[in-house]
Structure 1
């Protein structure tokens, strides 16, 4: 049994993304609508995801485009306010993802009581955001320093819109990441949000680290969820839950329910 059962309540867990609108300091922040509007949109998405039956949610500043790798204080403060206001309504385990800053994700997790964070913890990349470096040793020490030792770390090992500077295959990356860092999960992604994760890639990663939780991180849809979950231990799902399956839209509860009905049927057939 993996930690997914203990922390999220089930194996083959579905972690749903609650994407936050552009925040203060972001290029596309709407000054006229302000923070109240952002909180209201987050509330609608959270309630739709929970009504649809997801196992967990992850709050992310998904619309803080283009992303920073050293996130500003105002972003974390805004995310903390939103989650704080939603706290009485949150009925499932939740995590956070401050794109793309591992330390600030952990800071937000401690402030809000999040159970997990997803981040780019390791590697050096050539990315759309410039040269992208990490320092996992420093990050994990920061995790312990701020009292976040119980926060699960979901390592994204296929960064979106980026490529490793070193010429290494995904199997080598997965094996060394697990050996050196003891991640709670590895997230395997497509190129961008909504792009299907290769089942071959999932299979290759799971084969070399069979004792580690492996999550399909992008592009899991109603049509492919059974195939993805037949390999992965769970999935992070965002775009397909939205109206018309479009990244920029709000969550459509009917799409969530149809998806989760199929997931529950798949889990029942596994027993």
Structure 2
């Protein structure tokens, strides 16, 4: 997948069976997810990523077979109705499961948290899993699937690695064979620090992806430094990640991107 200045739209899959906020059938969840995916593709995004963000509070690394089965069903249907590249994240830090689902559904990449350097997440301590994850990818024959990795991830405390700069983390991710690094703000919808982005860009040749807080107003500032932009909240009704995708918001955003591409 060529991610040169790509816009990756988010599908936040509805609360899955067995999770605290679950209130819809799997068929209804699939219908809403595919509708969002189709609006994103129609609006002109370059790729789509799906995520079980409504499953809060999230389990730490280990999700049940019901989550894997449901995400596989959602992923398979979306792969049938859109033609652009697809990615997946399974919260929280269920990177092996995401890789397995992505591989079975014909996806192109996953987003992995906790790849290098342990951190304290909302869900508790999350140790790094690069070694296990890459061996698992080899084991199941999924080498074609790219693994993009968060560094100094949002919604987390990094006190235990406070003496390690974000640039050093990026270099560690590259050394541990990441396929791309993701830089975020402190929380969903919050923009990344431009200083952090510049620091990462200066030390690694890996693709650099902005993972939160991108909107029509601020994307120009990040445009020279990033290779791709993950956009969620800005594409949703009222700019709220919990709402469904609004086609007009996607189209307006992509018009701004088109202007940036013409002037690059």
TM > 0.5 fold call: yes
Spell out, residue by residue over 1:112-142, the C-alpha distance to the aligned partner (whole angstroms, 9 max, x if none): 0110000112221112111111221111100
Measure the CA separation in 2 of the matches of 1:134 and 1:15. Answer: 25
1:172 aligns with 2:163: no
Question: Partners of 1:95 and 1:206 in 2: how far apart?
Answer: 23
More off after superposition, 64-73 vs 104-113: 64-73
Partner of 2:187: 192
How many matched pairs? 259
2:203 to 181, 202, 208: 208
Per-residue displacement from partner, 1:13-45 (whole Å, max 9, x unpaired)? 011111100001211111xx3112111111221
Q: Does 1:39 align with 2:30?
A: yes
Q: Any idea what SS the aligned residue of 2:54 has?
A: coil
Q: Normalising to structure 2: TM-score of the pair?
A: 0.95
Q: State whether residues 185 and 213 of structure 2, in contact with CA within 8 Å, keep that contact through their aligned partners in structure 1.
A: yes
CA contact (8 A) 2:116 2:169 kept: no
Which consecutive residues of structure 1, in runs of 5 or more, have no partner in the other structure?
A: 1-6
1:55 equivalent among 46, 55, 58: 46
User: Deviations along 1:212-261, whole A, 9 cap, x unmatched?
Assistant: 11011100001011111121111111111001101211101111001111
TM-score, with normalisation over the residues of structure 1? 0.92
Where in structure 2 are there 5+ consecutive unaligned residues?
none
Deviation of 1:86 after TM superposition, in Å, equals 2.8
Aligned counterparts of 2:189 and 2:215: Cα–Cα separation in 1? 9
Question: Aligned partners of 1:107, 1:93: CA distance in 2, in Å?
Answer: 17
2:71 to 68, 79, 90: 79
Q: By how many angstroms is 1:64 displaced?
A: 1.0
Match among 236, 248, 251 for residue 257 of structure 1? 251
Deviation at 1:85, TM superposition (A): 2.3
CA contact (8 A) 1:188 1:214 kept: yes
Task: Give the 3-state SS of the residue equivalent to 2:102 in structure 1.
Answer: helix
2:2 maps to 1:13: no
Q: Distance in 1 between matches of 2:214 and 2:89?
A: 19
1:22 maps to which of 7, 15, 39: 15
1:150 to 123, 144, 154: 144
Q: Does 1:235 align with 2:226?
A: no
CA contact (8 A) 1:80 1:108 kept: yes
Q: Which residue of 2 aligns with 1:93?
A: 85
